[in-house]
Chain A
Amino acid sequence: MEMREKILTFIEKNSRVDLKELAIILGVDEATVANEMAAMEEEHIICGYHTLIDWEKTSIEKVNALIEVRVTPQRGRGFDTVAERIYNYAEVNAVYLISGGYDLLVTLEGKTLREVAQFVSDKLSTLDSVLSTKTNFILKKYKDHGTVIAEKKKDERMLVTP
């Protein structure tokens, strides 16, 4: 694996690691890691350092929805213009262009069902190029970003073995 891939693979799972430690783990000097990280931030390969949270375990109410959106692409711009119109809303978490039965998959976060529903009917559906929407509410997250969030795994091995 080349250095960038090594760094990215590691920090994708643990972005809290400090540079010195990461350098030791990867077996290179700290400056190399620091330079690569800075360059990748500059090139927007590293786009942010987020935290994976299981909101269900808190008392904070959140509603997440996946919305399938069918749109009319624009001449010369394809889906980009309408995608931009949608991703500019702060409520929108992610926008993906999808192959298959619809065009854009939009993930949305709101405080209540009503809030999400209102966003879809007031903002999303009313956009000129949007043909139809289908809203799917997420009931429970089992695994996210490659990490099982439903439960923490216990080490069940015997404590000492040859």
Chain B
Amino acid sequence: MRNPLSERITTIQPSGIRKFFDIVSEMKDAISLGVGEPDFDTPWHIRDEGIYSLEKGRTFYTSNAGLKELKIEIANYLYRRFGLSYDYKDEILVTVGGSEGIDIAMRAMLDPGDEVLIPQPSYVSYEPCAVLANGKPVVIELQEKNEFRLTAEELEAAITPKTKLLVMPFPNNPTGAVMEQKDLEAVAQVVKKHDLFVLSDEIYSELTYLDKHVSIASLPGMKERTVLINGFSKSYAMTGWRLGYACAPKVILEQMLKIHQFAIMCAPTTSQYAAVDALKNGDEDVAHMREEYDGRRRFLVHRFKEMGLSCFEPYGAFYIFPSIREFGMTSDEFATKLLEQEKVAVVPGTAFGACGEGFVRISYAYSLENLKKALDRIEHFIKGLRGEI
């Protein structure tokens, strides 16, 4: 029989998280700090709208780009929250989660050999998506000393004549890093100078704890070279609804729409109706959840400081990314031992790129009660490693 597989797909490694998931699943009564999704339920009024749409029999396809009503609400929301002006008619596309937006943006923009700059540590799908879109991923290794922000110098150093697209994964999973206005301005200068495009994944834009999130698309001259990805998963605790959106200049968006049309048809209708309500009536829920995460974040930062574990203070998403270098083991070894000895699951930093070595990702999408229990165990673990007990 012939090889049924394409060469390209076999070069892509499965996600490093998968392997760890299998180990954790075997472990009875482990406390996990390993999830990348909110612990809150979707607010009831949003779920209620989804249920109502089902009761009304709204079980048909929507137009490819999404419900008009939803696109209008997205445009209103982006203006209200981030001062962005997108035309709902041809600059907004409703997708199956932010993930689909990442995929189709790359497929719409890349030709074979085009280089895609991917700052890491970052979410696991940028690199494989770039490969699947015929692009060539080029990793920029972010530095802890810069609080894992992308600097203009790092960007400049990675650019070649083939560079076309820069991925901007901020607020960042797994580091919790944010890019403030001044950081973005410096990056935008370089982007414009080299005539690059930006794929800005702002799925955590509602979860910032220092200042309000700034979108790179809101900077002068950047909207026309930016594809903005956002969605409902993190801000409204709607991961399972699979709903996101992409905003881009018409010339890019209409090509993305083509792929979406043929590959997906449209995003789930029930989710779209629920999302209309989220945008109309959900601001308070978002604020409430942000406040909760912020309290947990401060608690974790404090506890890690007390433990003497080196960690920069993260101002975004719901992750904290402490360094475990002092223990002289790899992230993988650390995470595995922590799981075996204390039954606490964290994710090795290397799951998010090789430069995540020496770090672990800890999620605080858990109740304080749970976090406290887990932190006590982590403290016990590292005291053991240091020979203090």
Contact = CB atoms under 8 A, between A and B. Distances in A.
Contacts of A25: 295-296, 298-299, 368
A160 B20 contact: yes
B32 interface: yes
A157 B37 CA distance: 8
B298 A159 contact: no
Given A160-B17, A162-B15, A24 B302 contact: yes
B32 A27 contact: no
A27 B36 CA distance: 24
Interface string A1-39: 100000000100000000001001111000000000000
Interface of A is mostly: loop
A161 interface: yes
Contacts of B35: 157-161
B178 interface: no
B24 interface: yes
A155 B374 CA distance: 15
Contacts of B125: 162
Contact of A157 (B39, B298, B351, B368): B39
Interface string B95-134: 0000000000000000000000000000111000000000
Contacts of B32: 159-160
B347 interface: yes
B21 A160 contact: yes
B299 to A, nearest CB: 5
Given A158-B35, A162-B124, A21 B20 contact: no
Among A21, A27, A161, A162, chain B packs the most CB atoms within 10 A around the CB of A162
Contacts of A159: 21, 24-25, 30, 32, 34-35, 345
B291 interface: yes
A158 B345 CA distance: 12
A161 B30 CA distance: 15
Interface residues of A, number: 14
Nearest to B30: A159
A25 B297 CA distance: 8
Nearest to A20: B302
Interface residues of B, number: 28
A89 B170 CA distance: 60
Contacts of B345: 159-160
Nearest to A1: B291
Contacts of B36: 161-162
Interface string B278-302: 0000000000000100111011001
A1 B299 CA distance: 19
B15 A21 contact: no
Contact of B299 (A24, A155, A160): A24
Nearest to B352: A162
Contact of B39 (A1, A10, A155, A161): A155
B255 to A, nearest CB: 27
Contacts of B15: 162
Nearest to A6: B291
A10 B295 CA distance: 10
Contacts of A155: 39
Contact of B37 (A10, A21, A161): A161
Nearest to A10: B295
A162 B39 contact: no
B98 to A, nearest CB: 12
Contact of A160 (B173, B296, B302, B347): B347
A26 B35 CA distance: 24
Interface string A68-83: 0000000000000000
B143 to A, nearest CB: 22
A27 B291 CA distance: 11
A24 B34 contact: no
A92 B223 CA distance: 64
A157 B366 CA distance: 11
Nearest to A25: B295
A140 B125 CA distance: 49
Contacts of A1: 291
A162 B30 contact: no
Contacts of A160: 17, 20-21, 24, 32, 34-35, 345, 347
Contacts of A157: 35, 37, 39
Given A25-B295, A157-B39, A162-B124, 9 more contacts: A1-B291, A25-B299, A26-B295, A158-B21, A159-B34, A160-B24, A161-B36, A162-B15, A162-B36
20 contacts: A24-B298, A24-B302, A25-B296, A25-B299, A27-B294, A157-B35, A157-B37, A157-B39, A158-B35, A159-B25, A159-B34, A160-B21, A160-B24, A160-B32, A160-B345, A161-B17, A161-B21, A161-B35, A162-B36, A162-B124
Task: In the A-B complex, list the 6 residue pairs whose CB atoms are closest, starting with the nearest.
Answer: A160-B34, A25-B295, A160-B21, A159-B32, A159-B24, A24-B302
